[in-house]
Amino acid sequence: MKKISFSLSMLFLGLNVNGQSNAVTRDTTRRLEEVTVNAAVKRRIENELKMAVSVDEFVASASNISFIKRGAYAWEPLLNNMSSERSTITIDGMHVFGACTDKMDPITSYVESNNLSSIAIKSGQEGNLHGATVAGSIDLKRRNTSFGLQKKIGGAYQTGFEFNNKQTFNLGNLYYSSDKFVADGSIAFRKAGNYYDGNDNEVRHSQYNKFNASLGLAYKTSPLSAVRVDAIFDRAKDVGFPALPMDLWLSRAIITSAAYKQLFEEGLVKVWDTKVYFNAVEHYMDDTTRPENLVHMDMPGWSTTYGLLSKINLQKDRYSSEIQVNAYDNLSIAEMRMYPQDRSKQTMFAYSWPWVTTRFASVAMNNTLDLSDISRVVFGGSLGLNYNYSKYVEFNWIFHPGSPQKKNRVLPSLHASYQLNIGSFDFSIGTGFGHRAPSVSEAYGYYIYNSFDRYDYIGNPDLKNEVSYEANASAGFKTGRLSIGAKANYFFIQDYIIGRILSLGSPMNYQSVGVKGYTSLHHATLFNLALDARYQILPGLDWKAVLTYARGQDNMGGNLPFIRPLSYQTSLHYRYKMIGVQTSINGDFSQVNYSPEYGEDQTASYKIWNASADYNFKIRKLTAVFQVGAENIFNEYYSTYADWGNIPRMGRNIFTSLKINF
């Protein structure tokens, strides 16, 4: 159980991460078991309660991640209570940008749990390796099998059924490993109907249908070098978004990369890893399923990214370092076509992303220096250049006459932390500073309808960089049976970008009530606190609890939107031989600090009880796990602070799954 459980201490600061990477590097130098050296410790894509989770459900089990939910599918991850444009979300360091202006396709929706091996979450400026950030980074790490495994061919098959929304899923993955050649493949199907809320009412338009496949091929070019090509294909079709006035007809993504890796046995440089990548995302909305809509609209979006990243790991005595160069070019296009009621008349057309190119290049360096056996400093920095070009800048000129078509930005970042480990206690204290550029929507968006506050949003190309100053600290105590930890961070964000009501213009989308423009607040502050404890009551019986608190305020002391209320999770795990039983309770307290100004209303508290049991068994040479469980056993009717349009969450859900490893 320990192996699959989430190590909370890792999540907040990711400090252990650097410590571990050295060991991994040394291992691979000798044998090159893996093609990529992953800095983070692997965690299997399962959460404590459920072994067959979606990527969303898995990411959600990290204590500094929360989600904006617009339905049952494609949740938008919030890191440190900040929306996704403030964090860098990457797949193996590759930047992929969603093609939906309404953020209905976060990157996490284009992967599947069986083509990932782990997810590395870093908080704040420590996450600057892949690009400029404020909140931190979420890197989805793909599965890749080592060379020369004893078992040449292996894999897993997982299937299951969830009763509430009649979800069926079939996930399979297969590998082949020889001394010279490795192949990894995975395929996944998920199909779900509408779910039912706690009052047993059907939540219409909450169905989804997803197909995902991936393939990776690696070839050892010498004892110390290898090439690898990877591709992920993802297709979601007929996905309902109950909180929005339209659904998804089709989204497709192809995510590809080719990598070369060289290890060095001698010298300061241990690993050199280079990758070129390409990905294309297309996303088509459909409102023909909503006859109540006054206007028929088409909203297709495309996002194409080319990129490069190159990284070296250095190590000498007590010092280790990673240096990474990133570059990418992204073109984001989103169209909006409205049909008049008399279809014979001319349609109305505009770009919501007027062919916006973003080019970004950065150099980042993160260093770890062991000062002594008990203390260590981690420090680093990055310097990024961000270039934007709006092809049809005349759209932006309507609200911002004379704004430039091209914009260059310099994005510096620095961070440092000190860690101390005395006996059973460990402490850390850190600070960071960094800039981020506005996102495509924030800078160049044009009448992007936000169904949460029901405003049309207009980007501003002249927005200043958002500048973050952060401080973080943690303290922990650990013995054989007990561990207690506390993590806190504080962000002071200058020129915080948020939408404010404009006195100009009038709405374009018929559901909206007005126009908001992205503007910079003088500053905003955010504070996050997480407390966690574990205790081994008996051998095999573990208790765990997490409490998180967050507070976000603007410069006038008003509340920021989407800040998670005081929330808790407590769970109990019991394992006896081949049987495991787990139960958990989680919930949020009532949302005290909500923000009516940004379209929020007060969300009531809720409490969810979940339980599951699993059984491990063997069929000849195969190992298998069968699990059955239930979520929201009390069938509570609730919605969370981040549920778009207060759509109710799923009521009681019984789930079953079977996993066979071969």
The binding site for other proteins (CB under 8 A) comprises 217, 219, 221, 227, 229, 231, 250, 252, 254, 256, 258, 278, 280, 282, 284, 294-295, 300, 302, 333, 335-338, 340-341, 345-351, 392, 394-395, 397-399, 401, 447, 502, 504-508, 510-514
Q: Residue 263 or 642: which CB sits closer to other proteins?
A: 263
Locus of tokens 């964000």: 493
The least distance separating other proteins from the CB of residue 258, rounded to whole angstroms, comes to 6
The least distance separating other proteins from the CB of residue 631, rounded to whole angstroms, comes to 35
Q: What are the structure tokens assigned to 636, written together?
A: 């509570």
The least distance separating other proteins from the CB of residue 284, rounded to whole angstroms, comes to 6
Q: Residue 250 or 486: which CB sits closer to other proteins?
A: 250
Q: Residue 250 or 654: which CB sits closer to other proteins?
A: 250
The least distance separating other proteins from the CB of residue 254, rounded to whole angstroms, comes to 5
Q: Residue 398 or 578: which CB sits closer to other proteins?
A: 398
Q: Residue 155 or 300: which CB sits closer to other proteins?
A: 300
The least distance separating other proteins from the CB of residue 84, rounded to whole angstroms, comes to 25
The least distance separating other proteins from the CB of residue 355, rounded to whole angstroms, comes to 9
DSSP, collapsed to helix, strand or coil, labels residue 11 as helix
Question: Residue 529 carries which side chain, given as an amino acid letter?
Answer: L
Residue 80: CA count within 13 A, CB half-sphere? 34
Return the closest-CA partner of residue 258 out of 225, 224, 213, 307: 307
Locus of tokens 């054989």: 480
If you write DSSP's letter for every residue of 443-507 in order, what string do you get? HH--SEEETTTTEEEE--TTPPPEEEEEEEEEEEEE-SSEEEEEEEEEEEEEEEEEEEE-SSS--
Q: Residue 225 or 656: which CB sits closer to other proteins?
A: 225
Q: Residue 200 or 394: which CB sits closer to other proteins?
A: 394
The torsion angles phi and psi of 645, rounded to 5 degrees, stand at: 60, 25
The least distance separating other proteins from the CB of residue 391, rounded to whole angstroms, comes to 9
Q: Residue 159 or 511: which CB sits closer to other proteins?
A: 511
The least distance separating other proteins from the CB of residue 181, rounded to whole angstroms, comes to 9
Torsion of CA 528, 103, 68, 644, to 10 degrees: 130
The least distance separating other proteins from the CB of residue 507, rounded to whole angstroms, comes to 5
The least distance separating other proteins from the CB of residue 446, rounded to whole angstroms, comes to 8
The least distance separating other proteins from the CB of residue 304, rounded to whole angstroms, comes to 9
Question: Residue 628 carries which side chain, given as an amino acid letter?
Answer: V
Query: How is residue 7 annotated by DSSP?
Result: -
Q: What are the structure tokens assigned to 468, written together?
A: 């973050």
The torsion angles phi and psi of 292, rounded to 5 degrees, stand at: -70, -15
CB neighbour class for 406 (10 Å; exposed up to 12, middle 13-18, buried from 19)? exposed
Alpha carbon separation from 457 to 23, 81, 248, 473 (Å, rounded):
48, 21, 21, 36
Q: Residue 15 or 333: which CB sits closer to other proteins?
A: 333
Q: Residue 339 or 568: which CB sits closer to other proteins?
A: 339
Q: Rounded to whole angstroms, how far apart are CA atoms 170 and 192?
A: 12
Return the closest-CA partner of residue 145 out of 89, 93, 215, 91: 215
Close Cβ partners of 266 (under 8 Å, ≥ 6 residues apart):
none
Give ∠ CA 586-588-592 in degrees, rounded to 5: 170
Kindly tell me the sign of the dihedral angle through the C-alpha atoms of 493, 499, 500, 505: positive
Is the CB of residue 191 less than 8 Å from the CB of residue 168?
yes
Q: Residue 307 or 380: which CB sits closer to other proteins?
A: 307
597: left (phi over 0), alpha (psi -120 to 50) or beta: alpha
Close Cβ partners of 292 (under 8 Å, ≥ 6 residues apart):
none
Q: Residue 505 or 645: which CB sits closer to other proteins?
A: 505
The least distance separating other proteins from the CB of residue 599, rounded to whole angstroms, comes to 17
